[in-house]
Amino acid sequence: MKVFILLLLIIFIGLFSCQQSTQNQIDNLKQALANSYKPGLGEFMSGIQVHHAKLWFAGQAQNWKLADFEINEIKESLSGIEKYCSDRPEIKKLSMIIEPINNLSRAVISKNISQFKSSYAILTSTCNSCHQATNHDYNIIIQPVTPPYSNQDFKPTN
Ligand code: HEC
């Protein structure tokens, strides 16, 4: 009988400590997740700003492959915003940019420079519409005047 009780006790302690260590692991993981780096909305926007500028010069040079690439980079940043910035109430307005981007994409696919220019103007004004709608009206986006970097050639390769 004594042996039986001792055995039960050992099993019980074993189970308890096992549960404790699982709980510790969960707590450690939770803490690691909470401390892990998440890019902020402003960082995504700064990325979008660069691709928005490059997109203009790619379109002007009729480098449609690069223009298409830049559009996809903007789309990736938008997905990143939805994934990592869901705590920001402003992102409810994000969907307003989808249609202007899709229209611009169509202009790029059909290699239509005049449609590109007009769609680009609409995209840029939509950036500003959202900034106004989210109390960032002081943050004004324009069609770029000079390329953001001097070490990139926008001419098409063929
Ligand atoms: C949700 C609507 C929304 C749309 C659409 C939007 N923005 Fe923003 N943007 C914001 C908000 C909100 C901020 C402020 C972010 C912060 O608090 O850091 C911001 C900030 C910025 C900044 C400031 C970053 C800095 O440090 O100067 C730039 C640049 C920017 N946006 C560019 C753009 C461009 C370019 C587009 C269009 C291609 C665009 N945004 C579309 C909401 C939007």
Sign of torsion, CA 146 149 153 154? negative
CA–CA gap between residue 116 and residue 155 (Å, rounded): 16
Nearest protein Cα to ligand 1, atom 3: 130
Confidence of residue 92 (pLDDT cuts 50, 70, 90): very high
8-29, pLDDT tens digit by residue? 887 777 777 777 788 889 999 9
CB 122 within 8 A of CB 100: yes
Ligand 1 centre to CA of 36 (Å) is 23
Whether 127 lines ligand 1, by a CB cut-off of 6 Å, is yes
Q: Please name the helix (run of DSSP H) or strand (run of DSSP E) that holds residue 52, with its range, or none.
A: helix 41-60
User: What structural domains and CATH numbers belong to the chain?
Assistant: 41-133 (1.20.120.290)
Q: Whole-prediction pTM value? A: 0.88
Ligand 1 centre to CA of 45 (Å) is 5
